[in-house]
Amino acid sequence: MARTDNDTWDLASSVGSTATMVAAQRVLAHREGLIDDPFAEPLVRAVGSSFFTRALDGEIRFEEIDPQFDPRRAAESMTVRTRHFDRLFTDAAAAGIRQAVILAAGLDARAYRLDWPAGTTVYELDQPAVIAFKTETLAELGAEPRADRRAIAVDLRDDWPAALRDSGFDPTRPTAWIAEGLLIYLPPAAQDLLFDRIDALSAPGSRVATEHIPDVSMFADERSQEIAERIRKYGQDIDMAELIYHGERNDVVDYLTARGWDVTAQKMPDAYAANGFEFPTDGPTAHFADMSYLRAVKR
């Protein structure tokens, strides 16, 4: 279904289903031994979408959905992504930062799986149904956060800075932020507002990691539509063309640089090489050659 200004979702619907999709990809990376996320699989299964459960059980062959799909390559792609965002937090922790914010947390289990130094507070923000589901499911699994986790149910198009402050966030202390897999789901103006707000809440020395996809046309091309159609036959609606916002948007590197952040951008082929992988020249990942992983430090 097309996006609207105040739309909401859970983990099986609309934008929420993309959180389940990337968590399923983390399952592949975990199974390959490339990342350590033991929570991804039970979380995806708990969502209860038969499409994802059957795919993880091998009952739906990925190649049936996308003839170009290769599970190992998908695992490597998610590994590069996961390590990029993990590193933002581990480096920030090593630099003494004890306040972390996971924007659009989805099924991100970093609060439960990373080795946070004592005294760290981790804020997680996402839509109410998403936040509630993850909190309850991980509690039922007996998982315990490894930091002072504060889950905030809020729409990132609303006044989330107020909700963050109400939960104890201290803007005078440096913060480590991540916005992973979020920007394409925000309208261009909302993306700018997101970074304006991050900037306003960030003391010097704060860090942020995100990704920049300069061209999102691959989410709406014929191949993408065919994949959405095949997934729909299994009862799951994930039509990326409808879920993301198209059109021109500001370049995150320029935007943050202009606001006093030192930004480092790594294009996908370099990010692959840094992880010891070869960037594929064909298949689904090849469409993301121009995508960059970014990290920035506020001066």
Q: Is 155 in the site for ligand SAM (CB under 6 A)?
A: yes
d(CA 138, CA 174): 28
Using CB atoms, what's the residue nearest to ligand SAM? Answer: 106
**Could you write out the three-class secondary structure of 101-133?**
EEECCCCCCHHHHCCCCCCCEEEEEECHHHHHH
Contacts of 299 (CB under 8 A, 6+ apart): 204, 260, 261, 262
With contacts defined by CB under 6 A, name the span among 17-25, 60-68, 210-218, 263-271 that binds ligand SAM. 17-25
Q: Is 24 in the site for ligand SAM (CB under 6 A)?
A: no
Helix (H, G, I), strand (E, B) or coil at 208: strand
Q: Is 78 in the site for ligand SAM (CB under 6 A)?
A: no
Residue with Cβ nearer ligand SAM (76 or 180):
180
Residue from 24, 65, 92, 107 in contact with ligand SAM (CB under 6 A): 107
CA separation, residue 230 to residues 12, 67, 74, 108, 282 (Å): 17, 11, 18, 27, 21
- Please, are residues 251 and 212 in contact by the beta-carbon 8 Å criterion? yes
Q: Is 16 in the site for ligand SAM (CB under 6 A)?
A: yes
How many binding residues for ligand SAM (CB under 6 A)?
21
Query: What crossing angle do the helices spanning 128-140 and 40-47 adopt, rounded to 10°?
Result: 120
With contacts defined by CB under 6 A, name the span among 28-36, 134-142, 152-160, 225-233 that binds ligand SAM. 152-160
d(CA 65, CA 157): 33
Residues 122-141 that bind ligand SAM (CB under 6 A): 126-127, 130
Count the alpha carbons within 13 Å of 164 in the hemisphere toward its beta carbon.
27
Smallest gap from Cβ 260 to ligand SAM, in A, equals 25
Q: Is 22 in the site for ligand SAM (CB under 6 A)?
A: yes
CA separation, residue 207 to residues 3, 178, 199, 295 (Å): 30, 8, 10, 7
Smallest gap from Cβ 225 to ligand SAM, in A, equals 19
Q: Is 18 in the site for ligand SAM (CB under 6 A)?
A: yes
Site string for ligand SAM, 177-216 (x = CB under 6 A): ---xxx--x-------------------------------
Residues that bind ligand SAM (CB under 6 A): 15-16, 18-19, 22-23, 104-108, 126-127, 130, 155-157, 180-182, 185
